[in-house]
A and B are shown apart, each in its own frame.
Chain A
Amino acid sequence: MAKTDRQDIPSPIGENSPRIDAREKVTGAAIYADDIQFGNSLLHARIKRSPHPHALIKKIDTTKASALPGVKAVVTGEDFPGYIGLYLRDRYIFCRGRVRYVGDPVAGVAAISEEIAEKALELIEVEYEILEPVLDPEFGASPKAPLLHPDLGQYAVVNFIFPQAGTNISNHFKIRKGDVDSAWEKCAAIIERKYRIPQIQHVPIEPHVATAKVDETGEITLWVSSQSPFAQRNLIAESMGISQSKVRVIAPYVGGGFGSKAGVSMEALVVAIATKVKGHPVKLLLTREEEFYTAFVRQGLVAYFKMGCDENGRLLAMENKFYWDGGAYTEYGVNITRASGYSSSGPYEVPNVRTDSYCVYTNHPVTGPMRGFGMPEMHAGLEQCIDELALKIGMDAVEFRKLNCLKTGSTLVTGSKMHATGLSDCIKKTAEAINWGTKAPPSAPNKRRGKGLAIMWKAPAMPPNAGSSAWVELAEDGTVNVGVGGQELGQGVFTVMAQMAAGALGVPYESVRIATPVDTRYSPYEWQTVASRLTWSMGNAVANAAKDAKRQILDTVAEAWEETPEDLNIVNGVVISYKSEREIPLKNLVVYGLPKPGDQGWRGGPVVGRGKFMPAYVTGLDPETGQGERAVVHYTTGAQAVELEVDLDTGRIEIIKGVSTFDVGKAINPEMVKAQMEGGFVQGMSSALFEILQLKDGFVRNPSFVDYRIATSADTPRELQAYIVEVPQDDGPWGARGIGEHSMVPTIPAIANAIYDAVGVRLEGPPFTAEKVYLAMLDAGIVK
């Protein structure tokens, strides 16, 4: 074997290794947060919540509740004066003085039974002075709107978020690139549109659940279904004014996250209550209704787009205004505004861009990260405009995209250069697979058939210095234990990490295990399991840790064999020499080391490799122009297409075929990459056709699965195709970059474009329910 080959892609990188957690999960052996038993010292928490979207708290009387037998603690905002939040500290753990949404936590109870805790809630008397609510982000951003956070100017905030004190705008992100105003007159075609994207929810099958215990020294342990054990450690410690070392977060498998279990939400409530009943574990498990009312929802969006191109179809200018409905608190959501701002051109090269992206406080449910982090919402409108502009200038929509899309070296909306990208290949492959340009006859006379395509880009949205770390440790039998702080949410990251450790170290995949559950006391630091960043960032850390372990092993053997490490390698769990052709299994040396000849002592010893990764090159953006050298680590790009039928009798849409193609740099596990594409397509389709949080006067009208509909297996297309493009990421492990969220980014506009192709109507926003589609056709005279 040539030396260069050894540096190539080692097994099992790029192979379809079976999921490392499959057996545990399929047999029901896997432990989730609600499975953990705490014995009879366990107390049950319940939360008293605001019945008003906006009100002042005049008085809270907890005396009757505290006196109820079985109640161990009643807490209110009076007990916890610290603010909490990821990017902008804008919320108290329990409300102090003001409530800002229906469901805002006002008081908490711990009792010996759930029934007693619930009774205690009824005994808490709260006096409110009702205030006018803000129910629309555009209105909320106007000077006429009542102020929801009068102290906005005093909140602690990271340096890349710009709250506007004295308004409801918690972040204003701007792009000022080129000269938009004079570009319009050079345009041969211009499209101006408005879209409204509703709030939806993640609806993980496992609701939020957390159990907290505080010992007599004040040390906190939190058992939680979490995407962010380390962020929770940090934010809870900061809010409570204690050392991070006094907070320990233990996070078993997560039964679905999609962003809803990132950052801190209900976990802080249960920790706060537990501080008042030291020694007792206190558990809070949200009901499904509570999930809908009080867990994160995806931000609503009112978006204005204006875009123009020259007579050859080349994009010249874009002017975008986004009003994000951030809800009552936007501590996390402010960064969605920023991400959509620095991505506001879509995956296109546009010389002149003006964008204003506003995060606006409203009296709606608290918004936060959700799969796509603003990108599905933004692309929903943008990619429809692109279709309309292509039509107006007389170009095929795919050709228009091929002409304008980002290529390697293109100038981005932030002024920096695009890294190597396979976006053009993604478009080509997707168009081919959907047989773009041909039209099959509908399956019945009352059906109309159409095709639509949309493309996307998305960067991991995170602080510039979000870091990962890992360790790799070997046992006496040569098996490998990998410590990580990122979470298995079902996306398959533990499998991918095991593959990477195996590949980098040179052991069989089957010899690797992941040290679970993630426990901030023992697991290495990981910022959060968000932003589709783990394969890339944590993958780098794991690969580095495995390489470190490998170096330690090879150094020991090289010394013993009097060879150089460069002539040695580890293959299939055995150290081999290309020079002397000697070999020794790992198990013979990785704990006890190797004896020196003649009983003259030992060398080596237990092997623990360590690795870290943190991007060091991300620069800031100018707050006035949004221009900068390198705003993000990278962009994953891709395309989706659908073929669908619209039923003229009902307006109902049936997706016949879906195609996804994404440039993932390098597919570490191709089958799982494809599974992400399929899963993302279905979730995107669900948000396009069915999902909406029906809000009226600040209340959720459909807080259960009876009336919040999600796609089931029966709604999925008969044919789902997924294709992988691999243009390597320069700093990705074996070239890999993320795919988790991206696969639901272009789905809404792809479906919208196909609906237009089929029946010629466009709607203001999803969901494209049968009713909305039918009534639009009726109003347009397409049906009678």
Chain B
Amino acid sequence: MTMNTHPSLPEFEYVQPATLAEACEFLASHAVEARPFLGGTDVFVRMRDGFLTPQFLVDVKNLKGLNDLHFDPKAGLTLGAAVNMNRVIASPEVKAYYPLLAEACRSVASYPLRTRATIVGNICNASPAGDTIGACLTLDGVLHIHGINGPRQESMASFFLGPGKTTLKLGDVVTAIHFPIPPKGCVGMYLKLGRNQLSDLSIVGVTALGYPDSNCKSGYRFRLALASVAPVPLVPTQAETYLANHSITPESVHEAARLSTDACSPIDDVRGSARYRKQMARNLSAKALAEVWKKLN
């Protein structure tokens, strides 16, 4: 082990591109030395701790459109990448149509930090512990990305490759996340287990979303996402499939919780042991599913 008693922000150059194209070009031409940032709530901490040493920080949060929060009753919600979490929480449309998203944001850090922290930043940081990622996964978020070859879209489901690793390519800037109108009658919930009540990282987090779906045997479809139990934010598809094919009973909820635990591969770290995380993945999955089921009826 090592000791660092004087962590300090390393020297870097601050770059503020005028256009998206300029940003992409700069990032592409400074392969390893440049990094985009939004609120910086993760980037600066990781730089201070010596985990990141970018030569250039490319500030993309003032680019055109990145601060837009747009809701269309047909198309859904588009959050510009730089929209901070407190704006998400305060938005009447989010409150009305995507309360799960607001709930997830509220669990992040503290109010002052949430005035800088962004959902897109949380996603790009690609920590398995990201508190808002589960909501984005279960609400079928789609990332709008601007790369050197122009804009494209990518689904959340296939975005994460490992801790801190995503499918983003050199020169890519995520400009927004889009959510379709959620399924009619849907109910969501985020259960976060931290060590204490406020502003902690999750030991385990479970996001559950349920809605009526006539294609399922039970008449309902459930979505699940687990934080801090695998190298990536985890979607336990076996559990989702199981619930789609069985009627919802306390037994089937428990079986689904067991299946979601089987999908976990947690580690021991300073915040919790793998053994405890497995137990919590099961208990919190069961609890979240049961609570959602209760609200659906």
Residues of A that sit less than 8 Å from B by CB: 46-47, 49, 51, 102-103, 118, 121, 287, 289-290, 293-294, 446, 649-650, 652, 689-690, 694, 696-697, 699-703, 706-707, 709-715, 769-771, 774-775, 778
CB <8 Å contact, A715 and B3: no
> Contact: A709 with B196, CB < 8 Å?
yes
**Set of chain A residues within 8 Å of B5, measured between Cβ atoms:** 47, 49, 103, 287, 289-290, 293-294, 703
Chain B interface main SS type: loop
A-B contact pairs, 27 of them (CB 8 A): A49-B3, A49-B5, A51-B2, A51-B3, A118-B6, A287-B6, A287-B7, A289-B4, A289-B7, A290-B5, A650-B283, A650-B284, A690-B196, A699-B2, A699-B3, A700-B3, A703-B5, A709-B196, A709-B200, A712-B196, A712-B198, A769-B195, A770-B195, A771-B203, A774-B279, A775-B273, A775-B276
A711-B3 contact in complex given A650-B280, A694-B270, A774-B276, C-beta closer than 8 Å: no
B residues within 8 Å of A by Cβ? 1-8, 193, 195-201, 203, 270-273, 275-276, 279-280, 283-284, 287
Q: A707-B270, A771-B272 are in contact. Are A102 and B7 (CB under 8 A)?
A: no
Q: How far is the CA of A103 from the CA of B287 in the complex (A)?
A: 45
A290 touches B6 (CB 8 A): yes
Query: How many residue pairs between the two chains, A and B, have CB atoms under 8 Å in the bound complex?
Result: 83
A649 x B273 contact (CB < 8 A): no
Residue in B1, B195, B198 whose beta carbon sits within 8 Å of that of A714 in the complex? B198
* Cα distance, A294 to B271, chains bound together (Å): 23
The chain A residue sitting closest to B286, CB to CB, is A649
Distance, CA A649 to CA B199, complexed state (A): 21
Query: Within the assembled complex, what's the spacing in Å between the Cα atoms of A710 and B6?
Result: 22
Q: Which residues of B contact A694 (CB under 8 A)?
A: 270
Instruction: Known pairs A118-B8, A121-B6; list 7 more (Cβ under 8 Å).
Output: A103-B3, A294-B5, A650-B284, A707-B271, A712-B197, A714-B197, A775-B273
B287 / chain A contacts, CB cutoff of 8 Å: 446, 649
User: Which A residues lie within 8 Å of B273 (CB)?
Assistant: 771, 775
B3 and A102 form a contact (CB under 8 A): yes
Pair B193/A715 contact, Cβ less than 8 Å: no
**Which chain B residue lies CB-closest to A769?**
B195
Instruction: Among A289, A294, A700, A778, point to the contact of B279 (Cβ < 8 A).
Output: A778
Question: Hey, which chain B residues are within 8 Å of A711, CB to CB?
Answer: 196
B118 to chain A, nearest CB (A): 20
- Closest CB-CB distance, B251 to chain A, in whole Å? 14
Q: Nearest-CB distance from B117 to chain A (Å)?
A: 15
| Smallest CB gap from A291: residue in B | B5
Collect the chain B residues with CB atoms within 8 Å of residue A46's CB. 6
Decide if B6 touches A706 in the complex (CB within 8 Å): no
Minimal beta-carbon separation of B192 from chain A (angstroms): 11
Question: A709 with B195: in contact, given A287-B7, A293-B5, A771-B273 (CB under 8 Å)?
Answer: yes
Contacts of A652 in B (CB 8 A): 193
Which of A289, A712, A771 has the most chain B CB within a 10 Å cutoff?
A: A771
Q: CB-nearest residue of chain B relative to A707?
A: B270
- Cβ of B279: which chain A residues have Cβ within 8 Å of it? 774-775, 778
Across the interface, name the chain A residue whose C-beta is closest to B280.
Answer: A650
- Cβ of B197: which chain A residues have Cβ within 8 Å of it? 712, 714-715
**A51 to B5 alpha-carbon distance, docked (Å):** 10
Q: Assuming A650-B193, A771-B276, A774-B276, is B3 touching A702 (CB within 8 A)?
A: no
What are the residues of chain B within 8 A of A769 when measuring CB–CB? 195
Return chain A residues, CB-CB under 8 Å to B275: 775
- Beyond A771-B203, A774-B276, whether A702 also contacts B195 by CB under 8 A is no
Tell me, rounded to whole Å, the shortest Cβ–Cβ distance linking B141 to chain A. 27
Nearest neighbor of A705 in chain B, beta-carbon distance: B199
Residues from chain B with Cβ under 8 Å of A118 in the complex: 6, 8
A694-B270, A699-B1 given as contacts; is B284 within 8 A of A649 (CB)?
yes
